[in-house]
Amino acid sequence: MARTVAVVGASRDRRKFGNKAVRAFQQRGYHVIPINPTTTMVEGLAAYPTVLDVPEAIDLATVYLEPRIGVTVMDDLAKKGVEEVWLNPGADGAKVVARAQALGLTLILECSIVGIGENPNIY
């Protein structure tokens, strides 16, 4: 069974990393759930406003949000029971990292697209 990944900050704009991640994780066989409060679809997938709105379990999340927004999302990820959280470059502000650590989330501070073995430049 495929692992479920929430792409927090998923975008409909194919030039943005929040969209490239959706496509890269799909390419690697993950069950992808886009998280974006301003759209209902990303790359043909149903998008949810927050991870708390997702009716199923989420194995990991990859975050593409400005730190001022991302810090508030860490609480939602903890409430949802998401243990593994990738904070991509630009989303890894000190306050976000500190909040995630305080909540006991397992953090990976690197580009998740590269982390799963894909090249973001091809998407």
Q: What is the pLDDT along the chain (123 residues), one digit of tens a residue?
A: 789 999 999 999 999 999 999 999 999 999 999 999 999 999 999 999 999 999 999 999 999 999 999 999 999 999 999 989 999 999 999 999 999 999 999 999 999 999 999 998 888
- The pLDDT value recorded for residue 122 is 87
pTM of the model: 0.96
48/117 Cα distance (integer angstroms): 26
> What residue ranges in the chain does DSSP mark as E strands?
4-8, 31-35, 41-42, 45-46, 60-63, 84-87, 106-108
- The pLDDT value recorded for residue 5 is 98
Domains of the chain (ranges; CATH) run 29-117 (3.40.50.720)
* Structure-block tokens of residue 102: 């305080």
